[in-house]
A and B are shown apart, each in its own frame.
Chain A
Amino acid sequence: MRDKETRVKLLRWLIHSPTTYRVLRPIVDLQNIRENTAYRIWVRFLLDILRKAYAHKRPVIWMNSFLPIEIVYGVGAVPFLPEVMASLVGYMGWGEYPIAQADARISTDLCSFYRCAFGLALEGFLPRPNLIISSSHLCDGANKLFHYFSQICGCPHLMLDPPYSESPSTHQYMTDQLKDLVEKTCGLLRLPLDQDRISVVLNLSNQTRQYLVKINELRRAVPSPFPGSEGLSYLAGMNFYSIGSGWGLRFFRSLHDDIEKKVANKKGYLFEEKHRLLWLHHVRPYYKNEIFQILAERKAAVSFEESNYLYWPPLDPAQPWKSMVDKILSNIWAGPLERRMKAIEEMVENYSIDGVIHFSHWGCRQSCGGAAVIGDWLKERGVPYIVLPGDCMDPNNYSPGQTRTRLEAFIEMLE
Chain B
Amino acid sequence: MGKEIYVGIDIGSLSSEALLLGEEEILAYSIMGTGANPQRTARQCLEEALAKAGLDEKAVSIVVATGYGRIRVPFKAREVTEITCHARGAHFLFPRTRTVIDIGGQDSKVITLDDKGRINDFVMNDKCAAGTGRFLEVMANALEVELSDMGSQSLQVRKGVSITSMCTVFAESEVISLIAEGHRVKEIIRGLHESISGRIFRMAKRLRVRKEITFSGGVAKNEGIADALKILFGMSINIPDEPQIVGALGAALYARDVALKDK
A touches B in complex, CB < 8 A:
yes
- Residues of A whose CB lies within 8 Å of any CB of B are 1-2, 100-101, 103-105, 395-397, 399, 401
Known interface pairs A1-B232, A2-B234, A401-B173; 13 further A-B residue pairs with C-beta atoms within 8 A, sorted by A's residue number: A1-B231, A1-B233, A100-B202, A101-B205, A104-B205, A104-B206, A105-B206, A395-B164, A396-B164, A396-B165, A396-B166, A397-B166, A399-B170
| Chain A CB within 10 A, most for which of B164, B170, B206, B232 | B164
- Residues from chain B with a CB closer than 8 A to the CB of A397 are 166
- Residues from chain A with a CB closer than 8 A to the CB of B234 are 1-2
- Residues from chain A with a CB closer than 8 A to the CB of B206 are 104-105
Alpha-carbon gap, A100 to B205, bound state (A): 9
Alpha-carbon gap, A395 to B163, bound state (A): 12
Least CB distance from B158 to A in Å reads: 16
Are A103 and B202 CB-contacts (below 8 A) given A395-B164, A397-B166?
yes
- Residues from chain A with a CB closer than 8 A to the CB of B231 are 1
| A–B Cβ pairs within 8 angstroms, 7 of them | A1-B233, A2-B234, A104-B205, A395-B164, A396-B164, A396-B165, A396-B166
Q: Which residue of B lies closest to A104 (CB)?
A: B205
Q: Which residue of A lies closest to B232 (CB)?
A: A1
Least CB distance from B171 to A in Å reads: 11
Least CB distance from B58 to A in Å reads: 50
- Residues from chain B with a CB closer than 8 A to the CB of A105 are 206
Alpha-carbon gap, A105 to B233, bound state (A): 18
Least CB distance from A288 to B in Å reads: 12
Q: Which residue of B lies closest to A101 (CB)?
A: B205
Alpha-carbon gap, A396 to B162, bound state (A): 11
- Residues of B whose CB lies within 8 Å of any CB of A are 164-166, 170, 173, 202, 205-206, 231-234
Least CB distance from A116 to B in Å reads: 15
Alpha-carbon gap, A74 to B173, bound state (A): 54
| Chain A CB within 10 A, most for which of B205, B231, B233 | B205
Alpha-carbon gap, A100 to B202, bound state (A): 7
Alpha-carbon gap, A396 to B233, bound state (A): 22
- Residues from chain B with a CB closer than 8 A to the CB of A101 are 205
- Residues from chain A with a CB closer than 8 A to the CB of B205 are 101, 104
Q: Which residue of B lies closest to A96 (CB)?
A: B164
Least CB distance from A363 to B in Å reads: 15
Q: Which residue of B lies closest to A395 (CB)?
A: B164
On whether the beta carbons of B166 and A104 are closer than 8 Å, the reply is: no
On whether the beta carbons of B164 and A104 are closer than 8 Å, the reply is: no
What 5 A-B pairs are tightest by C-beta distance, nearest first? A104-B205, A1-B234, A104-B206, A100-B202, A396-B166
Alpha-carbon gap, A124 to B206, bound state (A): 18
Least CB distance from A337 to B in Å reads: 31
Alpha-carbon gap, A397 to B130, bound state (A): 14
Alpha-carbon gap, A401 to B171, bound state (A): 13
Alpha-carbon gap, A363 to B139, bound state (A): 30
Alpha-carbon gap, A103 to B206, bound state (A): 9
Alpha-carbon gap, A362 to B166, bound state (A): 15
Least CB distance from A395 to B in Å reads: 7
Alpha-carbon gap, A103 to B204, bound state (A): 11
- Residues from chain A with a CB closer than 8 A to the CB of B165 are 396
Alpha-carbon gap, A100 to B203, bound state (A): 9
Q: Which residue of B lies closest to A397 (CB)?
A: B166
Least CB distance from B231 to A in Å reads: 7
On whether the beta carbons of A104 and B170 are closer than 8 Å, the reply is: no
Alpha-carbon gap, A90 to B205, bound state (A): 22
Alpha-carbon gap, A395 to B173, bound state (A): 17
On whether the beta carbons of A104 and B232 are closer than 8 Å, the reply is: no
Alpha-carbon gap, A103 to B164, bound state (A): 17
Alpha-carbon gap, A105 to B205, bound state (A): 8
Q: Which residue of B lies closest to A2 (CB)?
A: B234
Alpha-carbon gap, A396 to B195, bound state (A): 11
Least CB distance from A122 to B in Å reads: 11
Least CB distance from A349 to B in Å reads: 40
Least CB distance from A103 to B in Å reads: 6
Alpha-carbon gap, A105 to B202, bound state (A): 10
- Residues from chain B with a CB closer than 8 A to the CB of A401 are 173
- Residues from chain A with a CB closer than 8 A to the CB of B166 are 396-397
- Residues from chain B with a CB closer than 8 A to the CB of A2 are 234
Q: Which residue of A lies closest to B123 (CB)?
A: A104
Least CB distance from A259 to B in Å reads: 37
Least CB distance from B240 to A in Å reads: 25
A1, A104, A399: the one within 8 Å of B202 (CB): A104
Least CB distance from A230 to B in Å reads: 26
Alpha-carbon gap, A317 to B72, bound state (A): 74
Alpha-carbon gap, A349 to B232, bound state (A): 55
Alpha-carbon gap, A163 to B77, bound state (A): 59
Least CB distance from B180 to A in Å reads: 13
Least CB distance from B157 to A in Å reads: 20
- Residues from chain B with a CB closer than 8 A to the CB of A1 are 231-234
Alpha-carbon gap, A396 to B231, bound state (A): 22
Q: Which residue of B lies closest to A100 (CB)?
A: B202
- Residues from chain B with a CB closer than 8 A to the CB of A100 are 202
- Residues from chain A with a CB closer than 8 A to the CB of B233 are 1
- Residues from chain B with a CB closer than 8 A to the CB of A395 are 164
- Residues from chain B with a CB closer than 8 A to the CB of A104 are 202, 205-206
| Chain B CB within 10 A, most for which of A104, A105, A395, A399 | A104
Alpha-carbon gap, A185 to B232, bound state (A): 45
Alpha-carbon gap, A2 to B165, bound state (A): 27
Alpha-carbon gap, A14 to B164, bound state (A): 29
Least CB distance from A100 to B in Å reads: 5
Alpha-carbon gap, A104 to B206, bound state (A): 5
Alpha-carbon gap, A272 to B173, bound state (A): 35
Least CB distance from A340 to B in Å reads: 32
Least CB distance from B177 to A in Å reads: 9
Least CB distance from B209 to A in Å reads: 11
Alpha-carbon gap, A397 to B166, bound state (A): 8
Q: Which residue of A lies closest to B204 (CB)?
A: A104
